[in-house]
Amino acid sequence: MTQLALFDLDHTLLPFDSDYEWGQFLVRQGVVDPIDYAQKNDQFYADYKLGKLDIDAFLRFALKPLSEHPRAKLQQWHDAFMAEVIIGKLHPAAIALVKRHQDAGDLCCVVTATNSFVTRPIVNAFGISHLVATEPATVNNEASQMFTGAVHGIPSFREGKIQRVHDWLASLGQSMEQMEKSYFYSDSPNDLPLLEVVSHPIATNPDPRLRAEAEKRQWPILELFA
């Protein structure tokens, strides 16, 4: 039987939040207002860590810059973002964790609330083929496909991660129930819904609230960046 290995991305495989860092990168590039955007980016990030993020308001904020620029320019910025922010921070312990599951033949997937434009190249850098992320809506114009600033489908956040994982598995002709074991690695209490669904929840670099919950439930705690 197949085993399933699901990984959160931000503060789990990465030692920071890629969504937040992408926003800060846009500020440094002069793409967005350096004061207003940075302040809102900080506030949404604080709300997320406190477990009170308004996901719809955040996604309107985060996806708006994608809708305001051609895909070619966005890709140019993202290439620079990968080189400047991401590549040097791919931690050997995180890479080794993924490789252990891949070498065991497990079906591996990153499941993240961060949108797929930001995360797909990062997930590729980890050598993972499958990604369940929040999907930005697109529209075709005469020149190319453009982002609209809206969300396509269910955001991959909290309980939405469960539905999105089920839908992804169904697209492969599989289900959670068919898995011999299912692992989910996450740092955040926002991921408790999915952590409660898998057979092997693993609190990974957990924040204080998830650490306390993991200790109470006797879940394993993994420190990749210690």
Which residues carry out catalysis? 8, 10
Of 147, 118, 153, 166, the C-alpha closest to 10 is 118
- Using left for φ > 0, alpha for ψ between -120 and 50, and beta otherwise, residue 155 falls in beta
Q: Cα–Cα distances in Å, from 202 out to 145, 171, 184, 189, 193?
A: 38, 25, 6, 12, 13
Q: Are strands 145-152 and 130-140 parallel, antiparallel or unpaired?
A: antiparallel
| φ, ψ at 150 (rounded to 5°) | -100, 175
Please classify residue 96 by burial: count the beta carbons closer than 10 Å to its beta carbon, then call 0-12 exposed, 13-18 middle and 19+ buried.
exposed
Asked if 186 contacts 154 with a C-beta cutoff of 8 angstroms, the reply is: no
Instruction: Find out whether 176 and 193 touch, Cβ atoms under 8 Å.
Output: no
- Tokens standing for residue 179: 């898995």
User: What phi, psi does 47 have (nearest 5°)?
Assistant: -60, -40
